[in-house]
Amino acid sequence: PRLSATTIVDVRVSLGLGGPRVFRRPLGGRATSRSLLPHRLRHPSSTKTSVAVASATCSGDGSQMNVSSSTGRALTIQSHVVSGYVGNKCAVFPLQLHGFDVDPILSVQFSNHTGYGCWKGEVMTGEQLQSLVEGLEQNGLLEGYTHLLTGYIGSASMLRTVARLVRKLRTYNPNLVYVCDPVLGDNGRLYVPAELTTIYREEIVPLATLLTPNQFEAELLTGMTIGSEEDALAACATLHQVGPPSVVLTSLDLDHSASSSSTITLLGSTSQPQAERCGQRFRIVVPRIPSYFTGTGDLCAALLLAWTAKMPDKLGRAAEMAVASLQGVLRRTAAAQAVAEAAGKSGIGCRELRLVNSVDELLHPKITEEVTWLE
């Protein structure tokens, strides 16, 4: 594309370091994380950012640059860390392994996740996201997306921009699959501003194709208390009425068995017709792995996107594969933690997910926990 005009605002030039660079003020927040099966990293509930802006008016058509691969092209909007694995660091690599072209947008960019003693970084605003969307659209680059994945979004302005983006993407591709991980909190505690619950319920959830809340988030979105499998299925039915045809509750503590304290339940429901011998409602019960993990909810949502793309009318089977992949990664991570501890190493850095070492688990998982149909 030709540049017909260029405007650069407050960009400092650093000679010998690759040309113009945009400098930003580092930011931070505070949060903690406790994780078993799918669980997201807690992020700061509020922060401010100051960012220099570079813009250009472009002419030309870049749509041919955005042609989908044989699997699809995914836009994923969630957090990013330079070191470690949460948010997009848990999503991009697995999706690429499964054949997706992946374009990440970073809702936050931190040095490391907030389970460490300190961190530095920035939080994206709704205005900055809108600027990126406009740049993509002006170059014809919004065409070709088959999937959208969203995770942690920390502000009302950005979440509403996401809603506008979903509608815009569907003007280019009415069949766009939107996998929404509504990151609100866990274990009875919010770690985003409370107003985001209403925005999710009224503006985001109706747009989702597949919704992947944990137990606490499902309760917030439905106003229901989930204490049993029947409650969970009723919550799924309520969410179906709002919009998403498919719902997977990724982390439930239920009273269906005496061993519930040592297991976690994933429960799914879809209103869409399913292939033969695949029910519309199902459960998968997995053992708790006694260790500390972060980013597992982010990884779970990405794996559900990948496997449902391969099995579009077999949600239960796709969830079975996603859970098997996730458990394989967690087992490999726990084994690496044990080796590190035996060598006298400790610290949260030893507990980062071993994604790069888990290619076989991500692509060819061994199913140890089978799906149970509830119909």
For residue 134, give the 3-state DSSP assignment. helix
Phi, psi of 320 (to 5 degrees): -60, -45
pLDDT at position 59 is 47
Q: How does DSSP classify residue 201?
A: I
185-186 and 189-190 beta bridge pairing: antiparallel
Residue 298: how many other CB atoms lie within 10 Å: 30
Positive or negative: CA dihedral 305, 309, 312, 315:
negative
Q: Count Cβ neighbours within 10 Å for each residue of 211-227 and write b for 16 or more, e otherwise.
A: bbbbbbbbbbbbeeebe
pLDDT at position 116 is 82
pLDDT at position 341 is 78
* Residue 201: both structure tokens together: 């319920």
Residues 151, 200 contacting (CB under 8 angstroms): no
Active site (catalytic) residues:
298
Give the bridge partners for 77, in sequence order. 105, 150
* Residue 267: both structure tokens together: 């429960």
pLDDT at position 152 is 94
pLDDT at position 170 is 98
Q: Is the pTM of this model over 0.75?
A: yes
Positive or negative: CA dihedral 270, 261, 299, 99:
negative
- What whole-number distance in Å separates Cα of residue 211 and Cα of residue 189? 20
**Mean pLDDT of successive 10-residue segments in the chain (375 residues)?**
37 37 35 40 42 47 58 95 89 96 93 82 92 96 96 94 98 98 93 94 98 97 96 98 97 67 92 95 93 88 98 97 96 88 76 90 96 92
Residue 25 CA to its chain's centroid (Å) = 26
- What whole-number distance in Å separates Cα of residue 55 and Cα of residue 52? 10
pLDDT at position 145 is 97
For residue 299, give the 3-state DSSP assignment. helix
